[in-house]
Amino acid sequence: MPFGFDKRSSLKGEKVNGTTLYPSSTEKQENIVPPPGPSPSKDAPPSYAPTDPIAPEQVAELNSAFETLNLSAQNPDFPKANQCLAHLKLLSAFHALKEDVGYTDNLYGLSDAKCEILEGQKRDEALAKTREKRWSLYVTRAVERFED
């Protein structure tokens, strides 16, 4: 993890719903499956070719906020409208990426089918946690690739 912070070390022995999150080194570690194959950071990055090409008018719309963006060396007291628009478009892109990653079934071996054994509210909560876990793994692997 960046900045020398190890989340697991601070959570050792912590339990949620009777399940130990990160067992201490003295506890028996069962039901721990090693990741398949070599370390993910050593794998080639995924293909970045879009599955649905962006239409030229969409490209123009996406780039319109950045054409007039002018950043100075000094920080102003308040951001300008074009800076806010660029920031909101960036946040929107991150949100769309998070949704795409979260709803990609079987990504990193996390299947939605495992949540189907539950019913009602518990099923919805399990699906939400699975999607968050996919996003967390995606970001963690991106950081690992960046650091290498």
Residue scoring higher pLDDT (68 or 32): 68
CB atoms within 10 A of CB 102: 19
Range of lowest pLDDT (17-31, 97-111, 131-145): 17-31
Per-residue pLDDT at 98: 92
End-to-end Cα spacing for the chain: 12
Tokens of 119: 């019913």
Q: pLDDT (tens digit, 9 = 90+) per residue, 68-123?
A: 777 778 877 888 888 898 899 999 999 999 999 888 888 888 888 888 888 888 88
With 0.85 as the threshold, say if the pTM is over it: no
**Residue 56: φ, ψ to 5°:** -55, -35
- Kindly list the domain boundaries of the chain, sorted by start residue: 1-30, 58-68+79-98, 103-148
Which helix (DSSP H) or strand (DSSP E) does residue 16 occupy? Answer: strand 15-16
